[in-house]
Amino acid sequence: MSMDIQVSSVGVEFSDTVALDGIDLSLAGDRIHGLLGRNGAGKSTLLSVMAGFRKPTAGEVFLDGMPVFENPNAMSQMCLIREVPDTLDASEKVSETLALTRRMRPSWDETLARDLLDRLDLDTGKKLGSLSRGKRAALGVVIGMATRAPVTMFDESYLGLDAPSRYVFYGAVLADFMERPRTFVISTHLIEEVASLFEEVTIIHRGRLLLQESADELTESGAEVVGPADIVDRFVADHTILASRSLGSTKAVTTTAPLDETWRRSAREGGLEVRPVPLQDLFIHLTGRGADDG
Amino acid sequence: MFDEDKPIYRQIAEGIERDILTGVLDADEKVMSTNEYAAFYRINPATVGKAFQQLVDRGVLYKRRGIGMFVDAGALELLRKEHRRRFPADIIGPLLAEARAIGLSVGEVIEEIERIAPKEIQ
């Protein structure tokens, strides 16, 4: 079942700060969405509002047209895995946490859970309080994946996972998404290694929506042009320049020039190298210092 | 796995073109599925879909609903024509630029080509 999420004019204010400011956003169902933002951009707040965990100060979130807050029908369709586990009973065993989740979630897939427990090397006999940060994160991954909720959200779930475990996680998301298409929202600020999983990318910056675009188009909306400084300057004269660096007479400019074939060819014939900008770099340029002035 | 020079979907498309040009994929042969590609390269299936769609639009592949993607009967001819047209800019241009940089004349380049070229294309 395809589940769309509609975020409508959502604002969240804490006593002295504005965490989210008028976010309008539509996340299409049956896609893997990347939610990107720097630390403190509002990713976690947005996810907890989307999952119905938190009532926004303004606006509302709808799942397939249903308001999510305090709505069991909507919330049962969603699963948000946060970095800090929601149950913090340190004396509870991993196996007990899993058994409880299995009872609450009719869509639970025990085979998938067993497989991931094994691949992430998680001992179900251990108590939650004795788990390392990495193993706690692994438990979150197992619960998020095996719950198989139509909307599955991971909030920085890779934090603490070592590299092999992160790749188990990414592989599991992709494999399960292809087997049973559903909506994934994955928030991260370590973009490079997950970028290729995303179909859509949403970037929030300082509590506001900065952009939402298909990942492929976003990667192609920028180009790095490298070559002799005078030729580079001539080529990018009409385009927005995001970043620029020089080495002697060589200049590298990150621009929002389109990477279409004609442009690439004429640049190459002019002696320039033209490369797509990795999503991570684009993200850094768009949200880095100075990005607020534009 | 991918070089940083091109968007991933274009690299996938070029890989399939290369397979057709070199005879790895024959006319009417089935191409690996979207999901197989996505799992192998760990990329979103939509990215693979974009590569396939471009090849369908250009007449390189055709789709059989519910079965998969197949190599168009005219694909080899089409790709040979396209790649031949691009050969001077894509291959000879950079070759000559390098020859000039290291002080090789056109005659010397041709000599070198004839020396190392396999018999079947002499």
Q: Do B5 and A275 touch (CB under 8 A)?
A: yes
Quick one: which H or E segment has residue A211?
strand A208-214
Nearest CA in chain A to B88: A269
Looking at CA atoms only, how far is residue A197 from chain B in angstroms?
A: 5
**Stated pTM of the model:** 0.86
- The residues near A290 (Cβ < 8 Å, ≥ 6 apart) are none
**Domains in chain A: ranges and CATH:** 5-214 (3.40.50.300), 223-276 (3.30.70)
Regions in chain B scoring below 70 on pLDDT: 1-5
Q: Say if strands A241-247 and A250-255 run parallel, antiparallel, or are unpaired.
A: antiparallel
Q: How far apart are CA A98 and CA A148, in angstroms?
A: 14
Q: Which of A148-157, A257-266, B4-13 tops mean pLDDT?
A: A148-157
ipTM above 0.90, yes or no: no
Considering only the beta carbons, identify the residue of A32, A215, A276 that sits closest to B6. Answer: A276
3-state secondary structure of B30: strand
At A51 the pLDDT is 94
B38 touches A at CB < 8 Å: yes
Across chain B, what does the average pLDDT equal? 91
At A85 the pLDDT is 58
Looking at CA atoms only, how far is residue B94 from chain A in angstroms?
A: 9
Q: How far apart are CA A210 and CA A43, in angstroms?
A: 12
At A293 the pLDDT is 44
Q: What average pLDDT does the segment A202-228 reach?
A: 89
Largest CA distance in chain A: 67
Looking at CA atoms only, how far is residue B82 from chain A in angstroms?
A: 14
Helices within A148-206 (DSSP H only): 163-179
Q: How far apart are the first and last CA of chain A?
A: 41
Residues of A in contact with B41 (CB under 8 A): 196
Residues of A in contact with B35 (CB under 8 A): 178
At A260 the pLDDT is 67
Q: How far apart are CA A292 and CA B19, in angstroms?
A: 47
A260 touches B at CB < 8 Å: no
A19 burial via Cβ count (<10 Å: 0-12, 13-18, 19+): buried
Q: Say if strands A200-205 and A183-188 run parallel, antiparallel, or are unpaired.
A: unpaired
